[in-house]
Structure 1
């Protein structure tokens, strides 16, 4: 059974049985969330907007060392641990738009993840937190899949105001160094200076704000785009240069605000590329 939050401009559908993920988000009547068409993408992470907790992105070889003790985490087809332990679990409903999930082994600590959805006049605010009553490392984030094409209007265009980019090695995982942003397509992590904006000409302009400057951008698929706020880059546990200066953040929020656009002729609908502003 799914839960629905709605007002005059927004309709959000949440499925507590699938990680309390957002399975649908209509802004001004347009469905902006989608599903990955690539059959190589695990169906458990292929749609909607789901929580990543108590880690976000990949951990190399599923190997995590905390306090000198090595812990093994579940790995995917690529041999790395991916996106935490909450995205395909059943979450408990606490109140309208509020959910929680207890998470423990194989993670080295026991904690509670809390996920909250709140309607805005023009969008939705999502908050994710992790509390294990320790100072142990953790990274958390939110993973939305956006459609490149809506029911009307032109294909999506997105722009990133990036300060730096996390360098990836030949295996696709971070090297621990930061570098100048390069042109896409991307499956990369950036530190952004301002909120990313996705525009579907003639339909909706979507502004994504978050409490963290770190965003993973995945725009390689032909049908979808992912812009994922994370409290730290993927695999930050093994790379001091990617870790926070102080305590590891225990929470993240993201706001998705939509503005209706005037329809435009098909031949003026724009391109489908992402652009960097530096």
Structure 2
């Protein structure tokens, strides 16, 4: 059964049976999300090379996607328990090396929505988490979406499309790439709607290759960061993140 949050200007639908993902987000009458919705990535975000994760000298095999790598965590397609209005949790364990509790909350804002995702396994072992929204390239009116953002660095990808561990100057799109920046990217659908995206996470994956969708995904660490010390956080691995999608008053 789908849960619905509604404050008059913003309507959000959540499907607890499919990773407690947002299946719909309507702002000012415009549906922003494609069929894939927006799902949580936990306890890792993005890809892990060959699905192999080594922790304390022990290598763990994670489920593989069609490309031969592990992708987007273990919580996105399973059922989550509803614990309150807009609040959900999911227990996750093997084949991940630890067992823990993922928590996800949705809170409507006057012109948008705030999503908070956390992971608690009682350890300080590596983890990465994030949100993966699939935005429509075109809304019910107006033109194709335009993305505005100002990254200070981009994660270099090798011939296998996975990170090399190096940071480089950003290159022109189209992208399936991870960027580092502290600002707020903006998506503008001309003559329709403009939204600002903000997050506590400093890494963003931009995937704008598909014809009908654009993804702008906040992550606490880049894909495959576990195998690249240069991409790992300085200090503890972040275990929570928030993500806001908010309408911008001026629409071009």
1:261 Cα offset (Å)? 5.6
Q: For residues 181 and 139 of structure 2, what CA distance do their matches in structure 1 show?
A: 26
Matched, 1:53 2:56: no
Taking the TM superposition and a 5 Å limit, the aligned residue runs for 1:127-206 are: 127-206=116-195
Of residues 217, 231, 245, the one that matches 2:220 is: 231
SS across alignment from 1:182: coil
Q: 1:3 maps to what in 2?
A: 3
* Count of aligned pairs: 252
CA RMSD of aligned residues (A): 1.0
Q: For residues 195 and 8 of structure 1, what CA distance do their matches in structure 2 show?
A: 25
Q: For residues 249 and 117 of structure 1, what CA distance do their matches in structure 2 show?
A: 19
Deviation readout 1:159-216 (Å, 9 max, x if unpaired): 1210000000000000000000000000000002310000001111010000011000
1:259 Cα offset (Å)? 3.2
5+ residue gaps, structure 2, are none
Q: What TM-score results when the alignment is normalised by the length of structure 2?
A: 0.98
SS across alignment from 1:34: strand
1:101 Cα offset (Å)? 0.1
SS across alignment from 1:162: coil
5+ residue gaps, structure 1, are 36-46, 265-278
Q: For residues 232 and 13 of structure 1, what CA distance do their matches in structure 2 show?
A: 27
Q: 1:269 maps to what in 2?
A: none
Q: 1:85 maps to what in 2?
A: 74
For the 8 Å contact 1:28–1:260, the answer to whether it is kept is no
